Chains A and B, each alone.
Chain A
Amino acid sequence: EAGVTQSPTHLIKTRGQQATLRCSPISGHTSVYWYQQALGLGLQFLLWYDEGEERNRGNFPPRFSGRQFPNYSSELNVNALELEDSALYLCASSFPTKRQYNEQFFGPGTRLTVL
């Protein structure tokens, strides 16, 4: 069974540009979560999508946005990039929320560097 995939692996942008990160969940998973992990730090929750709807978002500015497509893949967009946006962006997927347990399966991440 294929795991969660993310693209690109690395992304280098300059301040003010826009970045688009992509995530494909495990087959059968309808929930996708996005996290930001600055170097050496913990996971900061960004966004949660389920069944195509945004269910919740973390304490990030509106320039962080995303969407979930009908095939449950997801896209994270970061506009007007700032230097502090440099981080590892992790995507995780889980089984439908009606299940009792929803362990999250993570992709390898996209390393975003803003110069």
Chain B
Amino acid sequence: GQQVMQIPQYQHVQEGEDFTTYCNSSTTLSNIQWYKQRPGGHPVFLIQLVKSGEVKKQKRLTFQFGEAKKNSSLHITATQTTDVGTYFCAPDSNYQLIWGAGTKLIIKP
């Protein structure tokens, strides 16, 4: 079945540094969703990308969908403590989401 690889598994950053997580698939994706799960919480939908080469921004968050629609990334500029959590990519496959393993953003004390 379709699988997606998300890297890195963890990223430790100083507050104010940037953060990036990558999602890669061996097959072409129809679209991809991104979710955030705060510690102790449940996943919350952030955005959906559909078009080849699409770039969407939400304040300090930038989401990209690759030209070949096989990869995607989420970049956070100048991280803040409120950004702490695990970020999941989830391509849609016939109305079912295929979840990446997630990247945990940890802010160094």
Contact = CB atoms under 8 A, between A and B. Distances in A.
A103 B33 contact: yes
- For the residues of A in contact with B, the DSSP-based class is strand
Interface of B: 31, 33, 41-45, 48, 88, 92, 95-97, 99-102
A55 B48 CA distance: 23
Interface of A: 31, 33, 35, 41-43, 45, 48, 50, 55-56, 90, 92, 94, 97, 101-109
Contacts, number: 45
B92 A43 contact: no
A48 B96 contact: yes
A104 B33 CA distance: 9
A108 B99 contact: no
Contacts of B41: 108
A42 B100 contact: yes
20 contacts: A42-B99, A43-B88, A43-B99, A45-B97, A48-B96, A90-B43, A92-B43, A94-B95, A97-B95, A101-B31, A101-B48, A102-B92, A102-B95, A103-B45, A104-B45, A104-B97, A105-B45, A106-B42, A108-B41, A109-B42
